Structure 1
Amino acid sequence: MARLRARSRTLLAEVLRPHRGRLGAAVALLLTQNAAAMSGPYLVMLGIDRAIEPLREGRSGPLAAVAVSFAAATGIEYAARRGFLTLSARVGQAVLLDLRQRVYAHFLRLPVAFHERYTSGRMISRLTSDIDSIAELVDGGVESLVMAALTIVSVAAILLWLDLPLAAVTLLAFPLLFWLSRWFARASAAAYRHTREAMALVIVHFVESMRGIRAVQAYRREPRNQRIFDSVNDDYRRSSRQAFRLIATYSPSIKLIGNVTVAGVLCYGGARVLGGETAVGVLAAFLLYLRRFFEPMQELSQFYNSLQSATAALEKLAGVLDERPAVAEPVRPVPLPRRPGRGAVHFQAVSFGYRPDAPILTGLDLTIPAGQTVALIGPTGAGKSTVAKLLARFHDPATGTVTLDGVDLRQVADAELRRTVVLVTQETHLFGGTVAENIRFGRPDADDAAVEAAARAIGAHDFIAALPDGYATEVHRRGGRLSAGQRQLVAFARAFLADPAVLILDEATSSLDVPTERLVQHALSTILRDRTAVVIAHRLSTVETVDRVLVLDDGRIVEDGPPAELIADGGRYAALHRQWRDSLL
């Protein structure tokens, strides 16, 4: 927790550093505003003690001077406050923009493994409710908090200067104020941290339930999900109620102490005025300043709510930004060779496991010549997808090396690797936008002609042209306007347009029914042509046209060869092929 707090302070310093000039100007304006505000009671004192008597004598000059000074102080306070609010709003919005960009960019850089364990609901919570908490503080809480602190310090100094005996009476309340404020600070910090965590759980459960609404309704799990939501929602209610209980104790206590202190000062000050030990104007100014001392302390309980929520939110954001990518960008990248026949892959003594105590691959050796199409076959958990993820460098091997055209993947710049190696999975994700924009996702600088050429090569042009707006047709959320087969063809066109040296198809057709799969077979043969390809599939229809089949079991290659030879050998692949042919009858 201490490390996280230190990281959140570092993050705050980083986002504020570019705005040091504006912050300095804002502080100057705030000090000016405070000085102008503090002059009011002092001018009242001068008006009572030094302007009333001359007024009785027919001289209105002193009172007019005090009135003009009061008006000038009010104008300066207004101008300084307006300038501060304008400047602080600019800085605050720039900081919020920076935080959103940092968090979003960092989420994009983090590996797939992180996103598999960090739910989408928690990510949404970071970018919405946590940022909103910081925005609430930026929009008004900072000015109120700083101004309250300045007022308390300024008033305390002025009280000591005005009348030391009266200030001594006031100081009797300080130990109780100090203890009460420390208690509130500690208790509220824990309460608001719990509140942020409880709110995040509400968002997480809501998002997960809505994303899986088909499964929820199909299995009639609405009552169960409702019970879970009621539980996390009630926890949020209880944590929020605890936070408000703290405010309900702190704020009235401060007001009580303030009123008792004012009463004590009024009685003692009145006695001093009657005894000629102090002036009426001094007592009046002292009481005005005393009210200004306790009023900000009462308001601090409300502002402290925003401060603690924002602090807890900043810690959450700092925790996300503290997550390091599982694969580090090389310090001195080595460019891949630019030559014909690129795409040679080599696994040398590669061992890897998602957990140290559960290895998936052990000492794997594999060479794939440039331009060869290889199919990985084997039971679930054999390591097929792990090979694909290592080749795409979603992970680095624990031991051994994975090379592309003789260069260790750990030495290849991430941007170049993503251009050279493309992974297409069974989760054909289409983004909101047009068909053309989704195909162009593979190469953003491609023009319309290149997009159409890719669609024609894959065999997707006819169905795209038949859409209401052709390539400009909106695909809707997650491509809901297209069928599963059409979405797969768009994904293939996207990969074809990217033109990678190495293409990985990880169960890319497993979600399609058999008739639809047959429709995309032509596209599949087109996309695999003239490049190194690794195909992972349970359906052997996808494997029939490959150059080589590797059968994996328990992270090891147990069969390796052309499909026809493996069938003739009568081994594991032959058995799988026979089962597949029988299933077609």
Structure 2
Amino acid sequence: MSVSGVQGEERQDYSKAESAQIRARSRRLLGSLLSPLKPKLWLTAVAIVLSSAAQVAGPALIAYGIDQGIPALMKQDWFPVAFAGIAYLLTGLAGAFLIAAYIRLSARISQAVLIDLRTRVFLHTQKLSLEFHESYTSGRIISRQTSDLDAIRELMDEGLTMLVRGLMYMVFTGVMLVIVDAPSGLVLLASLVPLGILTRWFQVRSQSLFRRSRVASAKLIVQFVETMTGIRAVQAFRKQKRNEAEFGDLVEDYRDVNAKVLGLFAVYNPGMALIGNTAVAVTLVLGGFRVVDGSLGVGVLLAAVLYTKRFFDPMEDMAMFYNGYQSASSALEKISGVLEEEPSVPDPVKPVDLWNAEGHVRFDSVEFAYTKDRVILPRFDLEIPAGQTIALVGSTGAGKSTLAKLIARFYDPSDGVVTLDDISLADLHPKDLRRAIVMVTQEAYLFSGSVADNIALGKPDASFDEIVRAAMAVGAHEFIEGLPNGYDTDVNKRGGRVSAGQRQLISFARAFLANPAVLILDEATSSLDIPSERLVQEGLTKLLADRTAVIIAHRLSTVAIADRVLVMEHGRIVEDGSPAELIAGTGHFAALHAAWRDSLV
């Protein structure tokens, strides 16, 4: 399935073929989750069947005690009454014990399934390519891990056992009613006709409403998460009122769809109760006439009435199960869609090792397009010798970042091949690729934890001395020492305790510690002020020494440290030369440099 296919999961209308495909996909996922748990599932099923049988035996024992025990008791024979009483107590105890057993077993099955599913979603979304994460919003991913998994948890914790137990209970109750009194069984059979019509009506109308409810819930979560994640932009652009209106519309939609669901229950539950009470009344009236003419015992009539009433007892629970089932089914559809998403940048089938990369990068007849009608990089060739520092310059949208992402293998080219030391990146072992090529982006993301932990991300087994040396090399040591706890200072969520420029210095230290053969800096100095940038220039000189480097920057002061400048326009390299050569010429870079120099006057 493509990313657009996953995004389509938020739709509410599907063709029959699409619905069948989605259901089949969900069943495959559920089967793979339950397959390792077959022994526990069988044991739970046995416990449910036996507990239902023990519970259903009660009315028959009461009938025996009344019709056989009371006459015998009048003859001073205590055995039938004692047998009925003791048997009733024992079946009650057995039923209680078995109910406790299957509740424990079903809880273990539920937790095992949820742990497996939650882990699969987390690990799989990590493996998916950048294309997926740029198209699938973080709020929707969070919705998969929270509300969707919660819906499945609720179904697994109570719903499935409720369904199986209810079905077994109804089957055993119906069978016992026929055994005890066949005519009363016919009354129950006749009541199944209106019950089936009512249930089908409820099922058809509720299915689309439950899906709408899940979609509305997901939209609420997405809106909330994205508002909180971008709270700085919200407050900076005074977007609170607009968010209030948008969130209000989503809440209203969620309320309306849930009100319609409750409206269905307002018809279904009373209708079901009416059918059940009618069946009980008919059984009682017809049985009463038979008791009067002596063809039916009072105990049997009582048992028949009890069985008829008990037959309908699980129906309300099963209606609630259907509510949970529809929510969980919709959630499972969305999760299965994410799990079937294939990485657009897959790991090689037969990876090639590259223990010590030199950093020679080559583009051989490379073309890249997001879609057929959206070509970003037309076919071109490029060679970057090992140890050379190149700067990519050009207007926004010229293709600089795309070229850098191809080197980092965040994307694969649509055609052609990108190689490192004459090995295609698509064939290179992932661990060697990530060790050899490191990209520092403009965002400079920091994870929760200490400054030292964030620097050590480039080399998890690094010693504290190595971390300090890396920070000193890029000019970050002084400000880190000035933090409340130095290198042990917690940077808080997303690095909120340090400034944007300081975050970038930490990311430079991280890259220095990783010691890659190829380093890509994508607008990585854009958040630095002039003093900080001058400080980092010295660190960059050390950072870029003896390694291949690709620098994307609008600041021409950063470009000056490059050995070679590539000017890009519309995905093509229009100028290629050293900074001095291009400045001396009359091309695009010379004009950019002149404009930059004039701005400093």
- TM-score by length of structure 1 reads 0.97
Of the three residues 565, 568, 572, the one matched with 1:549 is: 565
Residue 152 (structure 2) pairs with residue 134 (structure 1): yes
Range moving further from structure 2, 459-468 or 95-104: 459-468
Residue 559 (structure 2) pairs with residue 558 (structure 1): no
1:38: which partner in 2?
Answer: 56
For residues 518 and 152 of structure 1, the distance between their equivalents in structure 2, rounded to whole angstroms, comes to: 80
Contact 1:489-1:523 within 8 A present in 2 as well: no
Residue 362 (structure 2) pairs with residue 346 (structure 1): yes
Could you tell me which runs of 5 or more consecutive residues in structure 1 were left unpaired when the two chains were aligned: none
Contact 2:437-2:517 within 8 A present in 1 as well: yes
Residue 399 (structure 2) pairs with residue 383 (structure 1): yes
Residue 382 (structure 2) pairs with residue 366 (structure 1): yes
1:524: which partner in 2?
Answer: 540
State the AA in 1 paired with 2:417. T
Deviation at 1:7, TM superposition (A): 1.0
2:176: which partner in 1?
Answer: 158
For residues 347 and 82 of structure 2, the distance between their equivalents in structure 1, rounded to whole angstroms, comes to: 72
Contact 2:475-2:535 within 8 A present in 1 as well: no
State the AA in 2 paired with 1:85. I
Deviation at 1:403, TM superposition (A): 0.8
Residue 164 (structure 2) pairs with residue 146 (structure 1): yes
2:280: which partner in 1?
Answer: 262
1:227: which partner in 2?
Answer: 245
Deviation at 1:534, TM superposition (A): 0.6
- TM-score by length of structure 2 reads 0.95
1:448: which partner in 2?
Answer: 464
For residues 415 and 276 of structure 1, the distance between their equivalents in structure 2, rounded to whole angstroms, comes to: 86
Deviation at 1:217, TM superposition (A): 2.6
Residues 477-512 of structure 1: per-residue CA shift (max 9 Å, x gap): 111111222211110111111111111111111122
State the AA in 2 paired with 1:541. S
2:13: which partner in 1?
Answer: none
The 5-angstrom pairing of residues 264-279 of structure 1 reads 264-279=282-297
Deviation at 1:220, TM superposition (A): 2.6
1:400: which partner in 2?
Answer: 416
Contact 2:566-2:575 within 8 A present in 1 as well: yes
Residue 526 (structure 2) pairs with residue 510 (structure 1): yes
For residues 56 and 523 of structure 1, the distance between their equivalents in structure 2, rounded to whole angstroms, comes to: 105
Deviation at 1:570, TM superposition (A): 2.4
Deviation at 1:236, TM superposition (A): 0.4
State the AA in 1 paired with 2:69. A
Residue 552 (structure 2) pairs with residue 536 (structure 1): yes
State the AA in 1 paired with 2:599. S
Matched-pair identity in % = 51
Identify if the C-alpha distance between structure 1 residues 414 and 186 changes in structure 2 by more than 3 Å, giving closer, same or farther. Answer: farther
For residues 235 and 78 of structure 2, the distance between their equivalents in structure 1, rounded to whole angstroms, comes to: 83
For residues 588 and 253 of structure 2, the distance between their equivalents in structure 1, rounded to whole angstroms, comes to: 54
For residues 263 and 425 of structure 1, the distance between their equivalents in structure 2, rounded to whole angstroms, comes to: 75
Secondary structure of the residue aligned to 1:361 is strand
Contact 1:485-1:520 within 8 A present in 2 as well: no
Residue 145 (structure 2) pairs with residue 110 (structure 1): no
Residues 507-545 of structure 1: per-residue CA shift (max 9 Å, x gap): 111122333322222222221111111111111111101
Secondary structure of the residue aligned to 2:521 is strand
Contact 1:381-1:554 within 8 A present in 2 as well: yes
State the AA in 1 paired with 2:93. G
Residues 108-163 of structure 1: per-residue CA shift (max 9 Å, x gap): 11122222221111111111111111111222222212111111122222222222
Secondary structure of the residue aligned to 1:354 is strand
State the AA in 2 paired with 1:245. G
For residues 42 and 499 of structure 1, the distance between their equivalents in structure 2, rounded to whole angstroms, comes to: 80
Contact 2:504-2:527 within 8 A present in 1 as well: no
- Cα RMSD between the aligned structures? 1.4
Of the three residues 435, 444, 453, the one matched with 1:437 is: 453
How many residues are treated as equivalent by the alignment? 583
For residues 119 and 92 of structure 1, the distance between their equivalents in structure 2, rounded to whole angstroms, comes to: 28
2:233: which partner in 1?
Answer: 215
State the AA in 2 paired with 1:316. K
For residues 269 and 428 of structure 2, the distance between their equivalents in structure 1, rounded to whole angstroms, comes to: 60
Residue 305 (structure 2) pairs with residue 287 (structure 1): yes
1:468: which partner in 2?
Answer: 484
State the AA in 2 paired with 1:41. P
State the AA in 2 paired with 1:124. I
